[in-house]
Amino acid sequence: MYNGQQPIFILKEGTTRTSGKSAQSNNIAAAKAVADAVRSTLGPKGMDKMLVDSMGDVVITNDGATILKEMDIEHPAAKMIIEIAKTQEQHCFDGTTSAVVIAGELLKRSEELVEQNVHPTVICEGYRLASDKAVEIIDSHSFEVDDKMLKEVAKTALTGKSAGAVKEFLSEISVKAVLSVSQEDDDGVIVDLDDIKIQKRQGGSIRDSTLIDGIILDKERVHSGMPRSVADAKITLINSAIEVKKTEVDAKIQITDPSMLSQFLEEEEQYLKSLVEKIQSVGSNVIICQKGIDDIAQHFMSKAGIFAIRRAKKSDMEALSKATGARIITNIDDLKEDDLGFASKVEEKKIGDSDMIFIEGCDEAKSVSVLLRGGTEHVVDEVKRAFEDAIGVVAVAHEDGAVLTGGGSVISAVSRDLRSYAEGIGGREQMAIEAFSSALEVIPRTLSENAGLDPVNTIIDLRKAHSEGKTNHGVNVFEGGVKDMSKAKVFEPSRVVEQAIQSASETAVMILRIDDVISSKGTAPMNPEDFDGMGM
């Protein structure tokens, strides 16, 4: 009762509310749980997760973003941690697990400070200072990249995945693919990964995967009478249907004589024949149509020796235009020889249990395709995820022109430098910066734990190496101890580490500032204690 009056509650019945330290500890616990869920997948010795959805579909992966995406998570703070993985995946293509693990550790360290009566806003300010300083330190450790190093970047991304056994083979394909589609302008190098089409097909081994300087379509020719292979292909891309045009308004045709019916059908046939003749007259011998192709038109095309595909995807049409130099046309009457594209060969091949179309040997291919193979559906799915990470990090390293040594070496260097930086910062923010510094060591610690090494000894060896100025030394997960990562050729793009630290600290700060969680989803009964202070 308030001054003898009945309190007025402004929240719906069934609403639950958690506030103060219990709200913070709940949020931190949820974030730590998400980080712990993916922690064992980090590094070359990381393990995989099997995820089974409500429909019984199985995904086997150690890709952090995929694991978190497949998990059905309800808690709002946990969802914020998943956003880190999404952002990391979109901007850097790798480092998703690292980003999530760092965020979980930052929150764990902040909880210890809150228990020592350090105010959350002070911790947030310290974390912001530490994050900004960390980016400066990372820049000082980065060095320029060349084409040889791009291959090492790809191999580092593939290490620890199920495709790691053939990382040499896949890294070569990924570097060739990225360099084929990269373009330079006034702003520097730009790589549009949409220009690399990835097709997967189960059957065969991973080593059967191939890079095509052109496009692979998961289609087959429309008529069995057409040639299976066309050399020196002159390609027409059409985004409208090759069939008799329908009137836009309802129309009736009255036929009073059987000869009129045959004349009508003959007229339709002549119209379709004229379309095929028009295509033939400009020298085209391959037609790729975004819409349908009439059966009669297919017949005329097969007689003329034209190779045709129908119902191609819009994205494939655009990729074909880039690869072959063909213009996409809408009206066949407007078709000119200049509109045709060129490929040295268009062929239908049987891959696995179905046919695929290979359009290869494009003169100035600005779009390429990769066909990935694998023994089973789950294997080829995981190979595709690993390969997408590989081309992603190669593209990022090629665009930025800067890489770092991996194996937790740069993270350890940042951690050490932040400790020195904290000593020059007055006030309680110093405690937060020191906590940030300690939190970063979760990466080398987790790498050693996942490799079955002693994490304490590893951290001690790492600190000793860095105190002697060996800043390129990181965790040697294969033999134990520490090792020069530049000699071991373990490299990753600087953007991956920068983004991981920044997004982890920003999310940790956001979660840390929350001291009240009001949820209308709950089915808990109305309890006045839950709404203390909400009365009016």
Each residue of 209-244: pLDDT tens digit?
A: 888 888 888 888 998 888 999 998 899 999 988 877
The predicted pLDDT at position 364 comes to 65
Active site amino acids:
63, 96-97, 389
The predicted pLDDT at position 295 comes to 87
Banded pLDDT at 12 (limits 50, 70, 90): confident
Consecutive H or E run containing 442: helix 442-450
Instruction: Compute CA distances 516 → 16, 19, 77, 116, 513, whole Å.
Output: 11, 4, 12, 20, 9
CATH class of the domain comprising 214-243+269-364: alpha beta
Banded pLDDT at 265 (limits 50, 70, 90): low
Q: Is the pLDDT of residue 25 over 90?
A: no
CATH fold group of domain 146-206+368-400:
GROEL; domain 2 (3.30.260)
Q: Which residues does 116 contact at the CB level (< 8 Å), separation at least 6?
A: 431
Q: Specify whether the CB–CB gap between 422 and 434 falls below 8 A.
A: yes
Instruction: Return the residue matching tokens 């390429």.
Output: 368
The predicted pLDDT at position 249 comes to 63
The predicted pLDDT at position 520 comes to 74
73-88 tens-digit pLDDT: 888 888 888 989 888 8
Q: Is the pLDDT of residue 8 over 70?
A: no
The predicted model gives 290-301 an average pLDDT of: 88
* Helices within 282-408 (DSSP H only): 295-303, 314-324, 377-400
Q: Is the pLDDT of residue 30 over 70?
A: yes
Consecutive H or E run containing 295: helix 295-303
Banded pLDDT at 506 (limits 50, 70, 90): very high
The predicted pLDDT at position 530 comes to 41
HEC assignment per residue over 22-42: HHHHHHHHHHHHHHHHHHCCC
522-534 tens-digit pLDDT: 543 334 344 344 3
246-260 tens-digit pLDDT: 655 666 667 667 766
Instruction: Compute CA distances 214 → 90, 200, 288, 361, whole Å.
Output: 25, 16, 14, 6
The predicted pLDDT at position 528 comes to 36
Which DSSP state fits 11?
Answer: S
Q: Is the pLDDT of residue 52 over 50?
A: yes
One fold for both 146-206+368-400 and 214-243+269-364? Answer: no
β-bridge mates for residue 286, sequence order: 235, 307
The predicted pLDDT at position 4 comes to 60
Report the alpha-carbon distance of residue 215 to residue 231 in Å, rounded: 15
- Alpha carbon 409 to its chain's center: 25
Report the alpha-carbon distance of residue 350 to residue 221 in Å, rounded: 12
The predicted pLDDT at position 461 comes to 92
Whole-model pTM above 0.85? no
β-bridge mates for residue 307, sequence order: 286
469-487 tens-digit pLDDT: 888 899 988 888 899 998 9
424-454 tens-digit pLDDT: 887 888 999 999 999 999 999 999 999 899 9
3-state secondary structure (DSSP) of residue 450: helix
Does 3.40.50.720 match the CATH number of domain 16-143+405-529?
no
130-183 tens-digit pLDDT: 999 999 999 888 888 887 888 999 998 888 777 777 888 899 999 998 988 888
The predicted pLDDT at position 531 comes to 35
The predicted pLDDT at position 181 comes to 85
Domain parsing of the chain, residue ranges: 16-143+405-529, 146-206+368-400, 214-243+269-364
Q: Specify whether the CB–CB gap between 515 and 25 falls below 8 A.
A: no
Task: Tell me how crowded residue 69 is: count the other CB atoms within 10 A of its CB.
Answer: 17
User: What mean pLDDT is reported for the chain?
Assistant: 85
The predicted pLDDT at position 525 comes to 38
The predicted pLDDT at position 529 comes to 41
Instruction: Compute CA distances 286 → 38, 337, 346, whole Å.
Output: 49, 13, 8
Banded pLDDT at 334 (limits 50, 70, 90): confident
